Amino acid sequence: MAELLRTLPLADFAPLTGRPVRLVAAAPAARFVLRARGPAAAAAAPALGTPLPAIACRAAVAGELAALWLGPDEWLLLAPAAAGAALHARLVAALGGMAHALTDIGHRQGAMLLSGPAATATLNAGCPLDFDPEAFPVGMCTRTVLARAEVVLWRTGAEAFRIEAGRSFLPYVWRFLEEAATASAAA
């Protein structure tokens, strides 16, 4: 698994810096989708170090671990790659005997980080969401479409976003964001 994480399609892309937008590949991460309800969702909290977000489209963060609400009983769990096995073991122990689904999706997607004063304009080139801080505040996350690619978009700061995408879409999304950033800078 560690070898696979080192060979994500973004490894060959140069970071985009020195503009009103910064685009870099995110560090390798462990990723799990947790499906759980009621007592099982509550039982995951000690293993995560934080309760799962109960408010739609919000993220909960505990240190380097994040839980992103994707649906009423679905969360994307993110942790540093080296912490993935331990997180999985803690969740399996906490959820033993309870109805749930815990799926390792670390192999299927990767992420990039977009930041800077033109980050929202860059995203709006391919995504119709309203990124005004009132409508999409820090900590908000959602599954959406960016330039026809399904992504999970998480606002991590006032001008910062994490974009999770399927491995096969990472180069496409990266190139789209590069072009959109260039267009934003020229405008």
Instruction: State residue 96's pLDDT score.
Output: 93
Percent of the chain whose predicted confidence (pLDDT) is above 70: 91
Give the mean pLDDT of 40-67.
96
pTM of the full structure: 0.91
Neighbours of 144 (CB within 10 A): 16
3-class secondary-structure state, position 66:
strand
Beta strands in the chain (DSSP E): 22-25, 29-36, 59-62, 65-71, 74-80, 100-104, 109-115, 141-146, 149-157, 160-166
Question: CATH fold of 17-186, please?
Answer: Gyrase A; domain 2 (3.30.1360)
Length of the chain: 187
How big, in percent rounded to 5, are the helix, strand and coil portions of the chain? 35, 35, 30
Q: What is the domain partition of the chain in residue ranges?
A: 17-186
